[in-house]
Chain A
Amino acid sequence: DADVTQTPRNRITKTGKRIMLECSQTKGHDRMYWYRQDPGLGLQLIYYSFDVKDINKGEISDGYSVSRQAQAKFSLSLESAIPNQTALYFCATSDGEQETQYFGPGTRLLVL
C-alpha cells in the first residue's frame, strides 16, 4: 500500500463550488505539505503543517484553506473554486530530519 494517498485522484467541478482534497499518510511523519503544479512551473507551496496544532501559509494560500485532522491527515479546501485553480495538486510529508519529501500520487483538478 502507498505511504501517502490522496483522494480523489481526479475531480471536475464548477466555478463557485466548494471542494475538499484529502491526504493521508502512514509514514508517521509530523510534517505535511500541499503543493500545486502548473505546466511549465515548479511546484508551489500552498500550506504546510509541522504538527496537528501548527498550520502555516505558503506562497500561494489565497483561495485555499486546510485542516490537519490528525497526524496522518491533512485536507485542502477550495472555498469557492475558480478556473485558474485548475492544476495538479500534491500532498507531501517529511520527517524533518532528512528533509526528503514523500509525495502522494496527486489530484488532477479541473474547474469549469
Chain B
Amino acid sequence: RKEVEQDPGPFNVPEGATVAFNCTYSNSASQSFFWYRQDCRKEPKLLMSVYSSGNEDGRFTAQLNRASQYISLLIRDSKLSDSATYLCVVNADNYGQNFVFGPGTRLSVLP
C-alpha cells in the first residue's frame, strides 16, 4: 500500500460547483498534514495546513480524521482559476525529513 493515496481523478466540474478530494495515509505516526496546489508544469505551492479541528480558508475547507487516517479538502463555489492538481502531503515526524507526497488529484473547472 502506498504511504499516501489520493482520489485518482481527474475531476471535471462546472464553475460554481462544490468538489471534495480525499486522501488517506498509512503511517499512524504522522504528525502534520498539508494540501499543496500545483499548476501544470509549475512548482507546488502550499494551499493550506490541515489541523486536527479542521480549518477553513475562504472557499477551502480541510478536515483531518486521525482515527481513520483520512484527510479531505472541500472547495466551494469553484472558479476557473482553481483548475490545478491538488497534492496531499503528510509529515511523519517533527524533524522535517519525512514529507510524503501523494500523487495528486487533478481538477478542471469548466466554464
Contacts and interface: CB of A to CB of B under 8 A. Distances in A.
A64 interface: no
Given A90-B43, A103-B43, A103-B45, A31 B103 contact: no
B96 A94 contact: yes
Nearest to A43: B101
Interface residues of B, number: 20
Contacts of A99: 32, 34, 49, 91, 96
A41 B6 CA distance: 11
A104 B43 CA distance: 6
B103 A41 contact: yes
A1 to B, nearest CB: 15
Interface string A91-112: 0001010011101111000000
Given A99-B91, A101-B46, A103-B43, A50 B96 contact: yes
A101 B99 contact: yes
A105 B43 CA distance: 5
Contacts of B102: 42
B1 to A, nearest CB: 14
Interface in B18-45: 32, 34, 41-45
A107 to B, nearest CB: 11
B81 interface: no
A87 interface: no
Contacts of A100: 34, 46, 49
Quick one: which of A35, A42, A56, A101 has the most chain B CB within 10 A? A42
A35 B42 CA distance: 14
A48 B97 contact: yes
Interface string B97-111: 101111110000000
B4 interface: yes
Contacts of A50: 96-97
15 contacts: A33-B99, A35-B101, A42-B4, A42-B100, A42-B104, A45-B99, A48-B96, A99-B32, A99-B49, A100-B34, A103-B44, A103-B45, A105-B43, A106-B41, A106-B43
